[in-house]
Structure 1
Amino acid sequence: MVDTVIESSRPAAGAEAREATARLREVIARILASDDPERDMAELEPALRQTRDGWRDVRRLLVAPYMRETRFAPAVAALRVLIAVYPERADDRRLLASVLGRMGQWDRAIAEADAAAGIEPGNVALHAARIQLRVQADRVAEAADVARTTLALARSEPGEAHSWMMAFVRNGDAAEAAGIAAALDPDKLPNERVATMAVRALMEDGRNVAAIGLGDAALRAGQDCAALRSSLGLAHLRRGTEADRKEHAVGHFEAGLKAAPADVRLLTLYGETLLRAGRYKESVAPLARAIELAPELEQTRGLYARALRYTMQYDDAADQLLKLVEKSPEKLLWQRSAIGALSQAGRKAEAEALFEQYVARRGALLPGTFQEALARMEERLDTAPIPQARLDWAWSMRGDKTIDRAAWERRARWGHMIDHLLFDWLECREDDVEEAMHLLGELDTGERFFAPLLAAGRGVVVATAHVGPMYAGLMALELVGIPSRWLATAPSIAQSSYSAALISTADQTEAQVAKACMRAINGGYVLCLAIDGAANPAAPRTTFEGQDVTYSSFASHLAHRLGVPSVFYAPRWENGQVAYTLEMLPAANPGEDAEAYAQRWQKAYFERLREHLASAPENLRLSGGIWRHVTSADRSAQE
């Protein structure tokens, strides 16, 4: 490093040098004592130029005290003088860039960091500062560009690799970040920051197994910290085995909270993971603490409300959701959740009033006619919020291997969006519901199918899934007059012609729902259950076509216990109208125990579901139920 001063002002050695140093320190003392240090800073440069190494005194005696007192403006002024006298000292520019960044003066901060790196282009830490400042300034594309052009530096100095990985991750360049992480030696990780960011980078690139392996290696090396535990717990959740969800992730979040008990992110993750593991009582405290520390976090408050509900604190759950409705009245999810909570708490009048507002708000967003709504939907197909992993999984199960992928995806998006449109029209435009009836195909087939099954005076268990135009089923059965009951998340207070046919899971306990189902069967109703969906956050899962899917054996056990027939049902599109797949599921053999029957029944159910998923892409739906937990294949072994 070169310390440059103007040669003509270079002081003599010995006594004169000591006098120059003494004068500089007197100037520094006067500036520190001044009511207006920036005004008196004019004395600093002449005094500094008379010394050889006066920068040390300025940094130690003037800049450092201002930094400790967070008096950034005079610190900046002093650093400006240092840079004027010693323009080739990169470290002063680096510190100035840092101070300007803390002041939010991003353009100036970035310019100084770039200048420092220009003086010492091989200094990895200076390039890391260039990247960090751009990330902090939310100029992530620029940060990624700098990271890309200086990538060799990150690989040469792993201790600074955190900044490069962060820039790539924040810019959505997960593969580039993961490339840096994968090149690290897991047994020689340089520090906790790099280890944490490497785990995150691998996870963001879908390499969860590799992320877990690297994180475990960091822990073995003693590099334990709250941030690493947070990332490692998330990697386990994304890998998603039962042990990951119920043991490993919980353990990492617990360990992280021991180091950082007030970390709101960790508290939320810990509480949510306990909730989804069915440990409802344990989930309440961390979620309550999280919203105490950060009351503005809506998702955390929503999780807290769910925890309260599942610990039967219904009034408190309703109050938490009403706070969310008040804060974000435009978010329909909070309104619907609050309606169910109010109803479950016995606050029917409040629930009904909010339901009217909820329906009115959604109805106001719909066009005047159903045909207009269809046309508008067609224009917005590309906006359908379908995760890519779901599309990839469905594509792997398609029956037509010659179909064009782009055309297939467009038709799949159409099927997704029209089912949600049918739901909105059915619930919000009841007076105009007949406008949508033209989509219903021939209904006599269904009537003929169920007639002999119902003739015995007892009901029928109908097993369906979140596929096809689900909501058309309500309209169809209502039209043909088949006595039916549907398990649904709609609240019991819904004021519509079909609401009497619903058994609500939104505002009843699981025991109440089960009793209502048995009453329906014994009363001679067709009981329709989407067995791949459950309101319970800890609903059991099983493996289907390589993915974890929610699956309830309730339907098969109900059919076995009550000795009634069971049917596989799936609505589908055929020539622009809704048709219905109806196929018998196995009956129990004489003396067959419930578990053996449930296994045989499950196999038959999934065989029929698999056939449906291989049909036209319009019939997929791609939301809820079997689609909820779909993840992309782990990429760790591919690299």
Structure 2
Amino acid sequence: MAEPALERGGAGARSLSPLDAAKRAIRAEAWASGLAQLDEIERAGGVLDAGADVLKAIALIRTQGFAAGIDALDGLDAQRVRDVRARADLRRLLVAPFVKSGALAEAARVLDWLVRTYPESADDRRSYASVLARLKRWPEAIAQVDEAARTAPGDVPLLATRIQLRTQAGETDAAAQLARESFGVAMVIPGAAHIWMTALLRGGDHARAASIAAKIDAPNHRVASVAMQALRSNGRAAAAISVGRLALRAGHDSAALRSQLAQAHLARGTHDDRLVAALEHLAAGVQMSPDDLRLNSLYGETLLRAGRFAQAVPFLEKSAALAPELEHVRAMYARALRHSGRHAESAGQYLQLARSNEAHARWQRAAAGALTQAGRTEEAASLFDAFIRRRSAGLPATFEQALARVDAAAGTVTVPRARLDWAWSLRGETGPAASMAREDWERAAQWGYLADHLLLDWLECREDRAEEAMDLLASLDEADRFFEPLRESGRGFVVATAHVGPMYGGLMALDLLDIPSRWIASTPGISRSHYARSLISTGDQTEVQVVKASLKALQEGHAVCLAVDGALNPAAARVPFENQEITWSSFAARACFRLGLPSIFYAPRWEQGRITHTLERLPEPHEGETLEDYIVRWQHAWLAHLRTHLAGRPEDLRLSGGLWRHVVTAERSGETPAGARDEPGSPSPTVDLIT
């Protein structure tokens, strides 16, 4: 490349000394000319000053390579260089072009020389730390900003950098501690408030992060996005939504902001939040960032749960391709394919999940069901049999030993905090749960969760010793008297239960009472267990097929048992219940109304270490009553019985599936972000998709 021409002529140029002319040439990036002039001065016996020495080293680096020039720079006397203040030349002619071209190691080497030569310069240390961070040399970067802070203790941007570098380096606790210590200055630079909030969030201090978020007025999309995350993590979804709206009104927009807005709407969870607002923001986010994994997967899952199955497929397919190792994404993709009627492709996805994680019961059941739906029955049976054998091998020799293992494991189960908090709020004012300490109550609830799953394992995997589990059943005399008039009528009836208590105790009880029954359950129909003959499988049948099989069983005089709070369809309707929304199917009430059959509420529960049963008659239609009125009355009675059950012992909660699936953290009160006012959402309808 031709060197820039030097200014010629004029009084200023004529008055320059040869040394000054050489310096000017190098500063004008005429490297060869400048070096030639310096060489000529030295050959004539002239002496270069410190400024010329620095410029010569710079020119050598730019013409002869980094190694040659840096050696010349290292050989200079630091005190002489400080006297002529050569920092600006080094930063402009070396550091800046190195950083711009991506030569970060070379930039770091020059900056290292600068901070050793000018140790009092906070700016040089800040620049050095920035380059070191880009090289992921975290300890060195942190050391430089910490040293800079000692020379400029009141520099808030420098403090922000100290927190941010620790966060980026994975020093979560240290970053959060520094953010807590400097909490009072987090809003001095509103545009950097996200640095404090991010550090606090990753350090688990959601309350402090949310208190910062509540004071901001969305100065940019980055701060707004983190503020929404902070408020949402603190149970303040409505406030998070308000921050997002403020940001959009101020013209701030980004894929991250739309993602956080959508998640806030989903956390609040009203009908309009889930089916309108969240989808709108996710669609906008995906358009802005079409290859963003989080946006694609969340958009696909939200479409799936809105019942827009075919639309969900391409977004979940893309997500599975972007992150093939993420099981949840692949499972959502498989569900979308299934509900779109693409059973062969769904089976392929579920089979991949089952093979990659043989210990995950959910994937094994889903894969067996999907293979059956795809017509690959023998393969489904083989897979499920292998699944049963593996589980059987992991069980102790006796049920007593297995139950002892449950006792030992209680207290170690990971249960979503929102579920525990909600269940705790529902306990009765009297009775055994009222006086329990929270820790003991949670341990008992986890024991109930494990015990219920043990019953399923034992009934499926140890059929030859099923009677050992049956010994847990309390006397069935009272249940026998309850069912006697229903049995004598010769008609079918509905047993309407929920995902509470030792659910599989009901299966054992009806079997011992010799009541012909059919249970709607997710276990695939190819299961060879004794109890599988009593199942109507949602795992390998469509929603319409399940409904037809259930109606047929009722008409044939069977008891049809179903969890009213469960649904095959991911877009099933929800109803308000105790400050949450739960899935609720009107199928049981509709079937009873149309067939003129009775129904009962059933919930198994633990009592002195044995399984006993809550059995209550549910309303029958009044003469002249409409279907809609009857459904409302039936629903009210069923929910009332469920509420009574949830107020009882923590062992009887179960804490998984059904009504627990959509429990969200209760909305906290708090300061509304500046200038924001939330808009109320619409209540969830009670229309059911199964008719």
TM-score range, shorter chain: over 0.9
| Cα shift readout 1:164-193 (whole Å, capped 9, x = no counterpart) | 100010111100101111122x2xx32221
Quick one: distance in 2 between partners of 1:138 and 1:68?
Answer: 27
Quick one: distance in 1 between partners of 2:252 and 2:669?
Answer: 23
1:88 corresponding residue in structure 2: 120
1:7 corresponding residue in structure 2: none
State the 1:32 CA deviation: 3.8
User: Is contact 1:207–1:636 with CA below 8 Å preserved after alignment?
Assistant: yes
The DSSP-based 3-state class of the residue aligned with 2:530 is coil
Quick one: distance in 2 between partners of 1:126 and 1:258?
Answer: 36
2:239 corresponding residue in structure 1: 210
- Which amino acid is the alignment partner of residue 131 of structure 2? V
1:399 corresponding residue in structure 2: 428
Quick one: distance in 2 between partners of 1:570 and 1:511?
Answer: 26
Query: Does 1:516 find its partner at 2:546?
Result: no
| Cα shift readout 1:548-606 (whole Å, capped 9, x = no counterpart) | 01100000000111111111111111222111111111111223221111111111111
Query: Does 1:428 find its partner at 2:461?
Result: yes
User: Is contact 1:226–1:255 with CA below 8 Å preserved after alignment?
Assistant: yes
Query: Does 1:351 find its partner at 2:380?
Result: yes
Query: Does 1:466 find its partner at 2:499?
Result: yes
Quick one: distance in 2 between partners of 1:299 and 1:394?
Answer: 26
Quick one: distance in 2 between partners of 1:633 and 1:525?
Answer: 41
2:150 corresponding residue in structure 1: 118
Quick one: distance in 2 between partners of 1:38 and 1:15?
Answer: 26
Query: Does 1:104 find its partner at 2:161?
Result: no
1:262 corresponding residue in structure 2: 291
- Return closer, same or farther for 1:521/1:50 CA change in 2, 3 Å cut-off: same
Query: Does 1:138 find its partner at 2:166?
Result: no
User: Is contact 1:177–1:201 with CA below 8 Å preserved after alignment?
Assistant: yes
Identity %: 52
Quick one: distance in 1 between partners of 2:112 and 2:372?
Answer: 65
The DSSP-based 3-state class of the residue aligned with 2:242 is helix
User: Is contact 1:336–1:355 with CA below 8 Å preserved after alignment?
Assistant: yes
- Return closer, same or farther for 1:610/1:44 CA change in 2, 3 Å cut-off: same
Query: Does 1:635 find its partner at 2:657?
Result: no
RCO higher in structure (CA 8 A, sep ≥6): 2
Quick one: distance in 2 between partners of 1:575 and 1:298?
Answer: 40
Quick one: distance in 2 between partners of 1:39 and 1:150?
Answer: 45
The DSSP-based 3-state class of the residue aligned with 1:455 is helix
The DSSP-based 3-state class of the residue aligned with 1:230 is helix
Matches within 5 A, 1:9-48: 23-34=53-64, 37-38=66-67, 40-46=69-75
User: Is contact 1:454–1:460 with CA below 8 Å preserved after alignment?
Assistant: no
The DSSP-based 3-state class of the residue aligned with 1:390 is helix
The DSSP-based 3-state class of the residue aligned with 1:201 is helix
User: Is contact 1:416–1:621 with CA below 8 Å preserved after alignment?
Assistant: yes
User: Is contact 2:543–2:568 with CA below 8 Å preserved after alignment?
Assistant: no
Residue 475 of structure 2, aligned match among 433, 442, 464: 442
Query: Does 1:598 find its partner at 2:631?
Result: yes
Decide which moves more: 508-517 or 75-84.
75-84
Decide which moves more: 330-339 or 306-315.
330-339
Decide which moves more: 38-47 or 472-481.
38-47
- Which amino acid is the alignment partner of residue 97 of structure 2? P
Quick one: distance in 2 between partners of 1:439 and 1:83?
Answer: 75
1:301 corresponding residue in structure 2: 330
1:228 corresponding residue in structure 2: 257
- Return closer, same or farther for 1:557/1:377 CA change in 2, 3 Å cut-off: same
State the 1:90 CA deviation: 1.6
Decide which moves more: 286-295 or 171-180.
286-295
User: Is contact 2:566–2:658 with CA below 8 Å preserved after alignment?
Assistant: yes
State the 1:34 CA deviation: 4.6
State the 1:206 CA deviation: 0.7
- Which amino acid is the alignment partner of residue 306 of structure 1? R
Quick one: distance in 1 between partners of 2:331 and 2:256?
Answer: 24
Quick one: distance in 2 between partners of 1:324 and 1:53?
Answer: 64
Query: Does 1:611 find its partner at 2:641?
Result: no
Quick one: distance in 2 between partners of 1:481 and 1:533?
Answer: 26
| Cα shift readout 1:454-490 (whole Å, capped 9, x = no counterpart) | 3333211110011111011112222222111000011
1:71 corresponding residue in structure 2: 103
Decide which moves more: 351-360 or 325-334.
325-334
1:506 corresponding residue in structure 2: 539
Quick one: distance in 2 between partners of 1:276 and 1:32?
Answer: 60
- Return closer, same or farther for 1:487/1:254 CA change in 2, 3 Å cut-off: same
State the 1:397 CA deviation: 2.3
- Which amino acid is the alignment partner of residue 268 of structure 1? S
1:163 corresponding residue in structure 2: 195
Decide which moves more: 460-469 or 394-403.
394-403
Quick one: distance in 2 between partners of 1:628 and 1:267?
Answer: 22
1:572 corresponding residue in structure 2: 605
Residue 247 of structure 1, aligned match among 276, 283, 286: 276
State the 1:14 CA deviation: 6.4
2:42 corresponding residue in structure 1: none
CA RMSD of aligned residues (A): 2.1
State the 1:245 CA deviation: 0.3
Residue 351 of structure 2, aligned match among 322, 341, 348: 322
Quick one: distance in 1 between partners of 2:73 and 2:362?
Answer: 62
| Cα shift readout 1:408-428 (whole Å, capped 9, x = no counterpart) | 333222222211111111122
| Cα shift readout 1:123-147 (whole Å, capped 9, x = no counterpart) | 2222222111211221100100111
State the 1:224 CA deviation: 0.8
State the 1:453 CA deviation: 1.4
The DSSP-based 3-state class of the residue aligned with 1:178 is helix
The DSSP-based 3-state class of the residue aligned with 1:636 is coil
- Which amino acid is the alignment partner of residue 565 of structure 2? D
Quick one: distance in 2 between partners of 1:446 and 1:560?
Answer: 24
| Cα shift readout 1:289-346 (whole Å, capped 9, x = no counterpart) | 2223333332211111111111011111111122223333343332222122111111
State the 1:284 CA deviation: 0.9
User: Is contact 1:38–1:74 with CA below 8 Å preserved after alignment?
Assistant: no
- Which amino acid is the alignment partner of residue 44 of structure 1? L
Decide which moves more: 139-148 or 603-612.
603-612
State the 1:527 CA deviation: 0.3
Q: TM-score scaled to structure 2, two decimals?
A: 0.86
Quick one: distance in 1 between partners of 2:385 and 2:124?
Answer: 64
Quick one: distance in 2 between partners of 1:328 and 1:72?
Answer: 43
Quick one: distance in 2 between partners of 1:272 and 1:560?
Answer: 35
- Which amino acid is the alignment partner of residue 510 of structure 2? L
Quick one: distance in 2 between partners of 1:565 and 1:255?
Answer: 50
Quick one: distance in 2 between partners of 1:230 and 1:570?
Answer: 40
User: Is contact 1:208–1:636 with CA below 8 Å preserved after alignment?
Assistant: no
State the 1:495 CA deviation: 1.5
Decide which moves more: 20-29 or 413-422.
20-29
User: Is contact 1:38–1:77 with CA below 8 Å preserved after alignment?
Assistant: no
1:587 corresponding residue in structure 2: 620
Q: Which runs of 5+ in 1 are unaligned?
A: 1-12
2:87 corresponding residue in structure 1: 55
State the 1:347 CA deviation: 1.0
Matches within 5 A, 1:487-566: 487-566=520-599
2:6 corresponding residue in structure 1: none
Quick one: distance in 2 between partners of 1:526 and 1:542?
Answer: 26
State the 1:86 CA deviation: 1.5
State the 1:39 CA deviation: 6.1
User: Is contact 2:411–2:442 with CA below 8 Å preserved after alignment?
Assistant: no
Q: TM-score scaled to structure 1, two decimals?
A: 0.93
The DSSP-based 3-state class of the residue aligned with 1:549 is strand
Quick one: distance in 2 between partners of 1:535 and 1:384?
Answer: 26
